[in-house]
Structure 1
Amino acid sequence: MSKANPIRFVEIPVVDMDRAVTFYEAVFGFDLELQTIDGYEMALFPFDPAAPGATAALAKGDVYRPAQLGPIVYLAVDSIDATLHRARTQGGKTLYEKKSAGDWGWVAEIEDSEGNRIALHEARAGG
């Protein structure tokens, strides 16, 4: 097994699936696919098995509890500034303003519609 990019899938807890889907589609600009998996409501993020990296889903059920503590999920964005603006217009909050991460690019953190801490990453040009 390769040691590179070991994370394949992340489940982001939600309380209100409709509200969360509206938030994520408006803020991040992608369509989510609704499914029921093992009895839990899921909204699957886009996934290309030929592309590197992981994907995620919004997940609703008795074992899912939104939180700002614990692991922090970083979502790739083209523009942190534009994403922060869209998040605020959808009722989200900025938890950590845009900061340089050196050669890695820029990062920021928001609170989503469900109360989760979600980090944003904008790569530097060519990175």
Structure 2
Amino acid sequence: MLHQAPLVWGEIAVENMDRAVEFYGKHFGVSFRRETMNDMDMAILETEDKEAASIGLVKHEMMKPSAHGSVLYLHLSDKLTPLVEKIAQAGVNILLPVMPIKEGECGFIALFEDCEGNTVGLWSMESK
């Protein structure tokens, strides 16, 4: 058994970094720190806990947005249903409405399509 959570970093591929940063900032109220690492254009999600696992938006020739790749689940709200309703009203394509995991015992998830065409998940322990 692992002694710590295995996820340390996740990347969401983007074609247009400015559009992606604006999308996530507008719909989820998050902010990013922009960096260039070697030839990768990156926007790193800013968090209070600098040691916590996090994500970055990444623009690079070897990374292509996709609706059919790995899915990252983001915890961006304590209650999932109001957040999903808000982004749906703003025109974000909801691929999977809020649904319980093990009848809510393990929280709730939803899937949406981001501005780059990626399938991204949302998770929260509470729905409403």
Fold equivalence (TM over 0.5): yes
Q: How many residues align?
A: 122
Q: Which residue of 2 aligns with 1:29?
A: 29
Q: Which residue of 2 aligns with 1:7?
A: 7
Where structure 2 has 5 or more consecutive residues not aligned to the other structure, the ranges are none
Where structure 1 has 5 or more consecutive residues not aligned to the other structure, the ranges are none
| Larger CA deviation: 75-84 vs 5-14 | 75-84
Question: What whole-Å deviation, never above 9, does each CA across 1:49-104 have from its counterpart, x for those lacking one?
Answer: 34xx4101000010110011121100002232232244335542100010011211
In angstroms, what is the RMSD of aligned CA positions? 1.9
Alignment of 1:110-125 (within 5 A): 110-124=112-126
1:56 aligns with 2:55: yes
Question: What whole-Å deviation, never above 9, does each CA across 1:17-41 have from its counterpart, x for those lacking one?
Answer: 1110000111121111111012111
CA contact (8 A) 1:76 1:122 kept: yes
Q: Distance in 2 between matches of 1:54 and 1:14?
A: 20
Aligned-pair CA distance for 1:3:
4.2
Aligned-pair CA distance for 1:107:
0.6
Q: Which residue of 1 aligns with 2:46?
A: 46
Under a length normalisation based on structure 1, what TM-score does the superposition of the two structures give? 0.85
Q: Distance in 2 between matches of 1:114 and 1:122?
A: 23
CA contact (8 A) 2:80 2:126 kept: no
CA contact (8 A) 1:13 1:58 kept: yes
| AA at the equivalent of 1:113 | C
